[in-house]
Amino acid sequence: MHLLVTGGAGFIGSHFVLRHVERYPEDRLIVLDKLTYAADRTFLAPVEDRIVFVQGDIADQALVARLVEEHAVETIVNFAAETHVDNSIAEAAPFLHTNVVGTQALIEVCKLHPGVRLLHISTDEVYGDIDDEDLPRVVGDPLLPSSPYAASKAAAEMLVMAAMRTFNIPACVTRCTNNYGPHQASEKFLPVVIRNALRGQPIPIYAQGKNKRDWLYVTDHCDAVETILHTDWAFSDAKIGGSGHFFNISADNERQNIDVAREILRILGKPESLLTFVADRPGHDWRYALNSSNTRALGWAPAVPFEDGLLRTIDWYRSRL
């Protein structure tokens, strides 16, 4: 396969690139990344000589088209995004640029190159807030995004759906729960908790920390994406917007933020007095939960237990402090 991987210097994209190069050494990987504050290209060092790395913007349609033509790209895997919810609340424009305009630029390139597949990485946040008594969300449930980030990801999905219907573009969309693991941007919840705990600094926790997330180790997410990548895409008979094209990815590992923070403090032998409760984020979703049976039906299942993944993650940050 010849793959164009966007956002490949970010958290999940970089793990995907490292794993893919090891497993499929005969494939050609072109990595396109704008290298925003969230990127860290050094994580790709072990495979730099086996990939083509290009710094650039996915919204630069001419650049994407050139890469697709030069490297005979067959599939675009779109990890590139602005991803931090708090940043989207402060300023939505970069989120609209990359997540919406950028995704449409990829679609335009697919339109000009019939047969090029688009695997678009989305998020559980598009379903919006759910209550404790609600069933985990299934593909086909309404999209009710709460933050500008989630709204931009939902908008991107709608553009992909429209491209499938109007232009017959072969596409799939994945919606995954919260990822954790090494090499996540330092602003995210787990890196903040681990770093501040290691330094003995206050750990900010929104409200009472009771919000629930379903935590999936990052390489399990990558493996789910690989599974979908290597499955025959049922374009002809699957209903657009249905479970033949849209895939939920989850761990069934729901935990309250406060419990995750306490577990990290326990592992590091640090006092709970470091936990500092701060004013809640506006529009903060209470809970996300997904039914991922359609991805599991392809043969995928999470492989890394939370306790192991958390230890690996803590070790990674500890060795870099």
Cα–Cα distance for residue pair 79/130, rounded to 1 Å: 25
| Per CB under 6 A, 33 contacts ligand NAD | yes
Cα–Cα distance for residue pair 198/192, rounded to 1 Å: 10
| Per CB under 6 A, 34 contacts ligand NAD | yes
> Contact letters (x/-) for ligand NAD, 156-195, by CB under 6 A?
--------------------x-xx-----x----------
Choice among 82, 125, 214, 223 that is catalytic: 125
| Nearer Cβ to ligand NAD (178/253) | 178
Choice among 33, 82, 127, 149 that is catalytic: 149
Helix axes 61-70, 103-112, angle to 10 degrees: 50
| Per CB under 6 A, 300 contacts ligand NAD | no
What is the distance, to the nearest Å, from the Cα of residue 312 to the centroid of all Cα atoms in its chain? 19
End-to-end CA distance of the chain: 38
How many chain residues bind ligand NAD (CB under 6 A)? 31
229-262 burial, b at 16+ Cβ within 10 Å, e below that, comes to beeebebeeeeebebbbbbbbbbebbbebbebbe
State both tokens at 264. Answer: 């990290």
List C-alpha distances in Å: 179 to 16, 176, 254.
13, 8, 12
Q: Answer for the pair 174, 225: CB distance below 8 angstroms, yes or no.
A: yes
Catalytic site includes residue 24 = no
Distance of closest approach, residue 174 Cβ to ligand NAD, in angstroms:
8
| Per CB under 6 A, 317 contacts ligand NAD | no
| Per CB under 6 A, 58 contacts ligand NAD | yes
| Per CB under 6 A, 11 contacts ligand NAD | yes
Out of 7, 128, 136, 148, point to the residue binding ligand NAD (CB under 6 A): 7
User: Strands 171-176, 246-249: parallel, antiparallel or unpaired by DSSP?
Assistant: parallel
| Per CB under 6 A, 136 contacts ligand NAD | no
List C-alpha distances in Å: 12 to 26, 106, 167, 188, 288.
22, 19, 29, 13, 19
| Nearer Cβ to ligand NAD (181/209) | 181
Site for ligand NAD in 113-132 (CB under 6 A): 121, 123
Strand-pair partners of 223: none
| Per CB under 6 A, 51 contacts ligand NAD | no
Distance of closest approach, residue 9 Cβ to ligand NAD, in angstroms:
4
| Nearer Cβ to ligand NAD (123/196) | 123
User: Strands 254-256, 212-217: parallel, antiparallel or unpaired by DSSP?
Assistant: antiparallel
| Per CB under 6 A, 146 contacts ligand NAD | no
Span near ligand NAD by CB under 6 A; candidates 4-12, 135-143, 224-232, 267-275 = 4-12
Q: Answer for the pair 253, 220: CB distance below 8 angstroms, yes or no.
A: no
Task: Give the up-direction half-sphere exposure of residue 163: CA atoms within 13 A in the CB hemisphere.
Answer: 29
Strand-pair partners of 3: 29, 75
Catalytic site includes residue 125 = yes
| Per CB under 6 A, 83 contacts ligand NAD | yes
Span near ligand NAD by CB under 6 A; candidates 57-65, 134-142, 260-268, 297-305 = 57-65
| Nearer Cβ to ligand NAD (216/258) | 216
Catalytic site includes residue 26 = no
* DSSP state, residue 112: H
| Nearer Cβ to ligand NAD (213/270) | 213
**Contact positions vs ligand NAD (CB under 6 A):** 6-7, 9-13, 32-36, 38-39, 57-59, 79-83, 98, 102, 121, 123, 153, 176, 178-179, 185
Q: Which residues are catalytic?
A: 124-125, 149
